[in-house]
């Protein structure tokens, strides 16, 4: 058995997983998430703001203390969209190294897709039919990756919940014109992604990360966020699409009253729901043209964080 610590630093949140790994199976010791909005303003300025960097490093230092206390044998810190795009990412790299003692890996979209696929499908193989299409919907980018036992095709789209909100969805609630502009950008991104990833080959669509799990909680009409109910849930596609539309059209005040929406997602969950809705609709249409009727989608709380931990244990 090996005890490892994985940190996933995205555009919206920083997450920690300390897990014991035995023969390729993860057993969680602790799993944490903090919304820090590292990517706030990066799409507009090209730089990580001092405030966003300070928030992120403060959380990283807390995680470092916990990792040491739990006795992890190895630590891996992976950073994705916001830090990929920022001109001052060297400041981020130096700050993280000082805070936790390892250099952050600013990975490519393709690497992000591969890790997400490994994390998401490790617990699904044998329970659902492949090939799987995994959609990892983040704050700055969205990864699509297709495969059965390993990834065979992937694409990273520069559309995410934070980025799309900042670009288009200023209204509260967003106006029809704002929604149309955002939807057009997502559809254009899917047009490009579908040339690299044959969406119609998917037998099972799997959604991962905070946007998807929050929309799932809304679709299930939960009284609170319940990991046991959400992880592995199989939800009718039409039910998920209805939940997406509902969250997109809500005011932020109404979203804030929902017991399963994290305060750090209130302003961006509408954009994330729009992206997830577009992915479901496109994949279902492409699968239908290939003769496959896709009535449901699968939701997984296992994602890139689990993929990082598994990869770390195998090195």
Query: Each residue of 52-91: pLDDT tens digit?
Result: 999 999 999 999 999 999 999 999 999 876 677 788 888 9
Per-residue DSSP letter, 125: B
Residue 36 CB partners (closer than 8 Å, separation 6+): 12, 13, 14, 52, 55, 56, 59
Same fold? 2-107, 126-304:
yes
Quickly list DSSP for 162-219: HHHHHHH--SSSPPHHHHHHHHHHHHHHHHHHHHHS-GGG-SEEEEESHHHHHHHHHH
**In contact, 125 and 154? CB cutoff 8 Å:** no
Q: List C-alpha distances in Å: 76 to 106, 205, 302.
A: 11, 28, 17
Whole-number pLDDT of residue 81: 66
Under a CB-based contact definition with an 8 Å cutoff, are residues 263 and 225 in contact?
A: no
In order of 110, 173, 227, 233, 290, the CA distances from 239 in angstroms are 30, 21, 19, 12, 23
CB 93 within 8 A of CB 103: yes
pTM: 0.86
Q: Domain map of the chain by residue range?
A: 2-107, 126-304
- Residue from 294, 301, 285, 144 nearest 204 by CA: 294
CB 67 within 8 A of CB 18: yes
pLDDT at 121: 84
Name 118's Cβ contacts closer than 8 Å, sequence gap at least 6: 150, 151, 306, 307, 310, 311
The tens-digit pLDDT sequence of the chain (315 residues) is 789 999 999 888 899 999 999 888 889 999 998 989 888 888 888 899 999 999 999 999 999 999 999 999 999 999 876 677 788 888 999 999 999 999 998 888 788 888 888 888 877 767 888 899 999 998 888 999 999 888 899 999 999 999 999 999 999 999 999 999 999 999 999 999 999 999 999 999 999 988 999 999 999 999 999 999 999 999 999 999 999 999 999 999 999 999 999 998 999 999 999 999 999 999 999 999 988 889 999 999 888 899 999 888 877
Pairing relation of β-strands 13-22 and 2-9? antiparallel
Q: What burial class does residue 18 get, using C-beta atoms within 10 Å of its C-beta: 0-12 exposed, 13-18 middle, 19+ buried?
A: buried
Q: How far is CA 140 from CA 136, 183, 231, 238, in A?
A: 11, 16, 23, 26
User: CATH 3.30.420.150: does it fit domain 126-304?
Assistant: yes
Using CA atoms, how far apart are residues 159 and 304, in angstroms rounded to an integer?
18
User: CATH class for domain 2-107?
Assistant: alpha beta
């Amino acid at each position: 058995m090996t005890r490892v610590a994985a940190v996933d630093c995205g555009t919206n949140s920083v997450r920690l997983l300390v897990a014991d790994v035995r023969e390729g199976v993860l057993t969680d010791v602790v799993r944490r998430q903090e919304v820090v909005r590292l990517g706030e303003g990066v799409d507009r300025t090209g730089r990580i703001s001092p405030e966003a960097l300070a928030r992120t490093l403060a959380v990283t230092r807390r995680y470092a203390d916990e990792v040491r206390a739990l006795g992890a044998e190895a630590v891996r810190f992976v950073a994705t969209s916001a830090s990929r795009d920022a001109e001052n990412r060297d400041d981020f790299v130096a700050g993280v190294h000082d805070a936790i003692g390892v250099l952050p890996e600013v990975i490519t979209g393709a690497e992000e897709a591969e890790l997400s696929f490994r994390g998401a499908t490790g617990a699904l193989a044998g329970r659902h039919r492949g090939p799987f299409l995994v959609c990892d919907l983040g704050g700055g980018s969205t990864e699509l990756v297709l495969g059965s036992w390993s990834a065979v095709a992937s694409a990273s789209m520069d559309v995410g919940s934070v980025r799309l909100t900042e670009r288009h969805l200023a209204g509260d609630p967003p106006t029809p014109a704002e929604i149309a502009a955002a939807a057009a950008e997502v559809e254009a991104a899917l047009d490009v992604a579908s040339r690299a990833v044959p969406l119609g080959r998917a037998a099972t669509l799997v959604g991962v990360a905070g946007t998807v799990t929050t929309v799932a909680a809304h679709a299930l009409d939960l009284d609170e966020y319940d990991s046991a109910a959400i992880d592995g849930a199989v939800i009718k596609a039409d039910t998920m699409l209805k939940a997406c539309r509902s969250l997109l059209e809500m005011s932020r005040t109404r979203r804030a009253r929902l017991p399963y929406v994290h305060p750090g997602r209130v302003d961006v969950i509408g954009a994330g729901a729009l992206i997830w809705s577009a992915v479901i609709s496109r994949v279902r249409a492409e699968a239908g043209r290939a003769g496959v009727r896709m009535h449901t989608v699968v939701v997984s709380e296992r994602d890139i964080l689990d993929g990082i931990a598994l990869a770390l244990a195998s090195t």
